[in-house]
Structures are given as C-alpha cells and as structure tokens.
Structure 1
Amino acid sequence: MNKATLAGGCFWCLESAFNRLEGVQSAISGYTGGHTPDPSYREVCDGTTGHAEAVEVTFDPTVLSYRDLLTVFFALHDPTTPNRQGHDVGTQYRSAIFFHNEAQRQEAATFIAELENQGVFDAPIVTQLAPAGTFYPAEDYHQGYYDQNRGAPYCQAIIAPKLAKLRQSFPAMLRRDGPDA
C-alpha cells in the first residue's frame, strides 16, 4: 500500500470521493502542513496553525495509480484559487499536495505542468507542493461525515455535486461494493 496526502478545501469532499474509489483502502480527514502539534478543528479553522484540511489516502498502486488519484483530485477542486475553495476562505483551505517521496513530487509536478500546458484551467494552478510531514487525523465526527450527514445543507449543496461528477467522470474507478453501489 502507498500513501498520498492531498488538500483541496474542505476535507469532507475529498474524503468521501476517495473512499468511493476502487483500490483505496482508506481516506482519512485530518490536518497537515502546519506548525501546531495535534491541532483541533477549531484551531485549524481559526487559521493560526498553518495546517491545511487534508486527506491521507492509503491505496493499492496495482489497482489505482498515484496519477489516477491526482486526476480525481484536480477534477474535484479548484486549484487556481489561493487559500480558498468557494466560500471557504483561509490557508486551511489551500490546494496542496504533500508528497511522500521524490517519485510523488516529480509525478505531481509533471501532472501540474501538463494541466497548465493543456490550458485545462482558466487561471494558473497555485497548488502547493510540499514534503509530507506529520498528519493529524481529525476528530471522529469528521470521519465519514458525508455518509453520516447526507441530508445536511452543506452536504447537499457542496459534496453531493462533487460525488455526482465523480460518478459521471470516473465510473471505471468506482468501487463496486461502495456506499453508492
């Protein structure tokens, strides 16, 4: 199994999407990239910890490649807005790839360059590339948040459309035994 750590705004969105992919053993919501040890959600939301809301994905690279994860990651968030995703504003919502080794760094840099050369986005990609540091899992109530709160307004307005896009754009990558199977 390999690990990927990705930040693209609210961690509930990415966690729920990645947990629906075949080859993903787990996607855990948490915090990384900052300076405060073992931060709480409130501290991260205050924007003083330096941490981003992120997802640590454990995946089987023989089933799902790192490039596949990057493809889904860039399809489900806006990598062109510094320190924000939609109405979520602050450094904790930045777009970032926390690489675990040099191969991941190179693959991410190459992938970003390809997206830029193809003009996929209308503005430059601002996704931060940084070495993976300590990952702090978020509080238990954040884990599986969408599946436990599907009717909540945020889930309906923000997460559900991203999952619909995931199902439409990447049907071959979806779990056959997942929550939406």
Structure 2
Amino acid sequence: MDNNHLEHATIAGGCFWCVESCFHMLKGVSSVTSGYSGGHKDNPTYEEVCTGTTGHAEVVEITFDPKIISYKQLLEVFWFLHNPTTLNRQGNDVGTQYRSAIFYHSEKQKLEAEESMKASEAKQEWNGKYVTEIVPFQKFWPAEAYHQGYYNANPNQPYCSAVVGPKIQKFKKHFGELGWLK
C-alpha cells in the first residue's frame, strides 16, 4: 500500500463495533479506528457519549488507499452496513450517538457523499427517506483502547454474537462475491 496517497473517511453508522469489523476486511483499507466525532466536548469518554449530551456520534475513521479502493466504494459499504432511514437509531441501539452521518474531509468527498446517498435512496435499498447527515469533519477522538478491534477480541460476547456476527456474515457474502475482501 502506498502510504503517500492515503486518505481518510469518517462515518457513523450505529455501533462502531459493527462498522469497524467490516471495514477492516476491505482491500485498500490500512486501518480503521473506532471513536467519536460531531460533538462539542473535547476528549469525550464512552460513558459521556452514551449520555447523549456531548453531541458525538460513534464513528470509525478509515485510512484507505484510493488507488485500491475508492471513497465511493467505501460509501457503498456504508449504505449496506446500516439502515440510513432510522433517526438516531440502529436496531436496539437508540440515541444521537447512533445516528447515521458522513463527516466529509473535502469538497470532493462532500459531493461524492451527496451523490452516493441519492443513488442509494433511488435504488430503494432501504424503505423510507434517508436521514443521514452529511457534515464537515472537524475533530476525531479515538475511543478507549478496549473498543478497538472489539468484535475480534470478543466474538462470543452476547451483543457481538447476536448483532455483529450476523452483520459480518452478510457483509462477507455480499462483498466477498464482489472480490473486495482481503
């Protein structure tokens, strides 16, 4: 991977454990870090974010090589992994920290995110109007160390086996057939 051309994508699609584990498997992705973005408190903790008072969303920051995987392709995965029609909720995870959001790093990313959302909505991949925020990236705060690679370290934890595991299997089937997996 050519480290001189790496770019960043920051997205929120519900619980970061679900999202992080899938993006790690993609060709061209060099790292995925769970964290917080979109809020007003510096250095928020998981407990603070869970109160819903910091304004942060659970996000992943993806470092990728656009020569191998494009930002548009990352967005295809994003739309696949979560339901962008549910406001401040993914499944049983409820609160503003679980909102659907794209934090763009450039005007090019903003335009691609807007186009991608319109295309996904037009294909009716999900029933309903998308509520995904497309907002400028400001700051990323990495989550606590125990959140990083959480699913891989805890696959038998009840939430992981009930929610994350099935999502990963669906992801592997779909994107493996496209040849996108490492």
Is the contact made by 2:79 and 2:120 (CA closer than 8 Å) also made in structure 1? no
Give per-residue Cα distances to partners, 1:29-84, cap 9 Å, x unaligned. 00000001000000000100000000000000011111111011110100000001
Match of 2:174 among 169, 173, 178: 169
**1:102 pairs with one of 95, 102, 107:** 107
| SS of residue matched to 1:13 | helix
Choose the corresponding residue for 2:47, options 34, 42, 48.
42
Q: Normalising by structure 1, report the TM-score.
A: 0.95
Secondary structure in structure 2 of the residue aligned to 1:173: coil
For 2:152, give the aligned amino acid: D
Whole-Å separation in 2 of the counterparts to 1:4 and 1:49: 22
Return the alpha-carbon distance in structure 2 between the equivalents of residues 116 and 134 of structure 1: 28
Deviation at 1:111, TM superposition (A): 0.8
1:120 deviates by: 2.1
RMSD: 0.6
SS in 2 for 1:39: coil
* Equivalent position of 1:150 in the other structure: 155
% same residue: 54
SS at match of 2:164: helix
User: How does the TM-score come out when normalised to structure 2?
Assistant: 0.95
Give the deviation of 1:138 after TM superposition: 0.1
* Paired residue type of 1:23: G
The residue aligned with 2:61 is 56
Structure 1 residue 119: deviation in Å? 2.1
Q: Aligned to 2:35, which of 30, 40, 56?
A: 30
Q: Which residue of structure 1 aligns with residue 73 of structure 2?
A: 68
Gaps of 5+ in 2: 1-5
Q: Deviations over 1:66-113 (max 9, x none)?
A: 111101111010000000101111100000000000000000100111
